[in-house]
């Protein structure tokens, strides 16, 4: 008996070619509305669903496939005589393939100025219903919800005249995933709408909350991991349904051992930091904190300067560069033990160098093109943190300090060189765990104090790190991710050698700290923005 396929698609990419191939394989074609017209105009023999159901499309196409002759044909189990007898009694033919993609709800609501009426009209009803029916009956029906599935289906039909259980099940899983994504998008949109009945009209564009009444995140598994943060924990890595260009999730591993949970967490910290620099830059991360950051004329120079900050911590670290790694940079980096090396690209010479270091994980990640949205910049728009039986959501800290934002609050004015180093130090401090104190000079970190309960301790640790690395903190600048609540923190960094300090300001004792800076003869600027990172 010839197979029957029902095709009803919103996105018609490749549908004519797919339907033509099905026809050549002897598959009977059923279709609806615009899809049926397109296939008929292309010279394919197609039967309208309305002809099968003996019921016309109605309500502007809202009702066309919600009929027993459609759902009976999809849901009937071929291995149950009672089901097949019921089909025969009611004159219902089986449907073996269903090809459906849904109304473009996500694309519609993503458009600026989308009206509530347009959003509602693009909620598909018949499509998801058919997909669920076919996916439930996966043993007998193959359901296709994306054009990228056409090739695999045709290959099996041509080879064996039917679909394997394995492929039908995979198609069913993909179908239910798609329905979950679709319904989640509808829920996200509708529960974000600040509904105002008095404004209701066909042209009503509702205001929307950034945080919907229900959050329906959708993530796709990239890979299972050997273990989590510790060996007794299990883990897996998931990516966004639609990853931003230039984000870690789109990286390609060129060589090396499988990435671990901690590798991925540290790699993300390094990559997010390094791609924020326009000059050639290198970031070395250890345990989620930058332990060395620098800019230079080349990848080689940037790496050399970053490594100087803390060679001890750099051992077994994660390295990210925002320029192509060439042979010279590869030779230098290969002299240290590195877990992961990330860059936009690697020259053939660099790849050849690392062949001798087979365990080093090389990750190639394209830099984002940039733009006016976090997505275009390759960044998350929303950050999440799991808490007991709950989830904290916040807009991501994507603030970039600009020179006009800097307010000098002391008698002494910073030099142009100090201003540039302050902007650099402030950018680094944003990626250091709070409490963060970062000493910088000449486009490189000179000492980093991170993650302490006391800002004083972070300042002291930064000084100790610099001393251990043989670096002088004389005439350095310092960035503090939050305000100095007392003058003691300022005194510690000035005693270490700092001549210029950046902090957000906003403390009840700001004037006390400003007076201390004037007393010590150093420059201080307020940024007006705090960068806690927990």
> Hey, which residues are catalytic here?
136, 287
Task: Take residue 260 and report the two structure tokens written for it.
Answer: 């671990």
CB 35 within 8 A of CB 15: yes
Q: Tell me, what DSSP letter sits at residue 197?
A: G
CB 350 within 8 A of CB 326: yes
In terms of Cβ atoms closer than 10 Å to its own Cβ (0-12, 13-18, 19+), residue 129 is: middle
CB environment 232-269: b (16+ within 10 A), e (fewer) = eeebebeeeeebbbbbbbbbeebbbeebbbbbbbbbbb
Q: Are strands 523-526 and 498-503 parallel, antiparallel or unpaired?
A: parallel
Q: Tell me, what DSSP letter sits at residue 356?
A: T
What gap in Å lies between CA 14 and CA 35, rounded to an integer?
A: 12
What gap in Å lies between CA 520 and CA 498, rounded to an integer?
A: 10
Distances (CA, A) of 338 to 262, 334, 335: 14, 8, 9
Q: How many CB atoms lie within 10 A of CB 227?
A: 13
Q: Tell me, what DSSP letter sits at residue 198?
A: G
Q: Which residues pair with 28 in a beta bridge?
A: 4
Q: Which residues pair with 47 in a beta bridge?
A: 30
What gap in Å lies between CA 466 and CA 514, rounded to an integer?
A: 26
CB 98 within 8 A of CB 145: no
């Amino acid at each position: 008996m010839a197979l029957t396929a029902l095709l009803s698609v919103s996105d018609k990419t490749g549908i004519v070619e797919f339907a033509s191939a099905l026809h050549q394989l002897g598959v009977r074609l059923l279709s609806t509305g615009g899809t049926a017209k397109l296939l008929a105009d292309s010279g394919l023999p197609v039967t309208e669903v309305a002809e099968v159901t003996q019921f016309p499309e109605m309500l502007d196409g809202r009702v066309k496939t919600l009929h027993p002759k459609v759902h009976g044909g999809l849901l009937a189990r071929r291995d149950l005589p009672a089901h097949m007898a019921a089909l025969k009694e009611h004159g219902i033919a089986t449907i073996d393939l269903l090809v459906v993609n849904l109304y473009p709800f996500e694309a519609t609501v993503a458009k600026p100025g989308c009206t509530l009426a347009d959003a509602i009209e693009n909620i598909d009803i018949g499509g998801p219903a058919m997909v669920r029916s076919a996916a439930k009956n996966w043993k007998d029906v193959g359901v296709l919800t994306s054009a990228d599935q056409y090739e695999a289906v045709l290959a099996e039909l041509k080879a064996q005249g039917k679909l394997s259980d394995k492929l039908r099940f995979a198609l069913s899983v993909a179908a239910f995933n798609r329905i979950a994504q679709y319904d989640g998008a509808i829920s996200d949109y509708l529960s974000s709408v600040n509904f105002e009945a008095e404004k209701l009209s066909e042209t009503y564009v509702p205001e929307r909350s950034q945080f919907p009444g229900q959050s329906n995140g959708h993530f796709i598994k990239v890979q299972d991991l050997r273990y989590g943060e510790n060996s007794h924990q299990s883990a897996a890595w998931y990516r966004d349904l639609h990853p931003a260009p230039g984000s870690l999730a789109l990286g390609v591993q060129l060589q090396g051992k499988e990435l671990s949970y901690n590798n991925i967490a540290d790699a993300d910290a390094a990559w997010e930091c390094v791609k924020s620099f326009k000059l050639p830059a290198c970031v070395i991360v250890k345990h989620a904190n930058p332990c060395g950051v620098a800019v230079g004329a080349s990848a080689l120079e940037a790496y050399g300067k970053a490594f100087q900050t803390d060679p001890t911590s750099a051992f077994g670290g994660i390295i990210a560069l925002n320029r192509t790694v060439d042979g010279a940079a590869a030779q230098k980096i290969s002299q240290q033990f590195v877990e992961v090396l990330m860059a936009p690209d690697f020259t053939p010479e660099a790849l050849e160098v690392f062949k001798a270091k087979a365990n080093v994980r090389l990750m190639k990640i394209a830099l984002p093109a940039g733009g006016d949205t976090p997505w275009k910049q390759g960044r998350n728009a929303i950050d999440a943190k799991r808490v007991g039986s709950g989830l904290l959501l916040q807009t991501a800290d994507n603030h970039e300090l600009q020179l006009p934002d800097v307010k000098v609050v002391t008698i002494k004015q910073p030099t142009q060189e100090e201003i540039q180093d302050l902007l650099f130090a402030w950018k680094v401090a944003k990626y250091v765990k709070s409490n963060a104190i970062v000493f910088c000079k000449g486009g490189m970190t000179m000492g980093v104090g991170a993650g302490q309960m006391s800002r004083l301790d972070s300042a002291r640790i930064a000084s100790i790190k610099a001393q251990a690395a043989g670096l002088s903190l004389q005439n350095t600048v310092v960035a503090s991710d939050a305000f100095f609540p007392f003058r003691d923190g300022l005194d510690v960094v000035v005693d270490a050698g700092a001549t210029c300090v950046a902090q957000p300001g906003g403390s009840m004792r700001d004037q006390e700290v400003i007076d201390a800076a004037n007393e010590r003869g150093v420059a201080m600027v307020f940024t007006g923005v705090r960068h806690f990172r927990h």
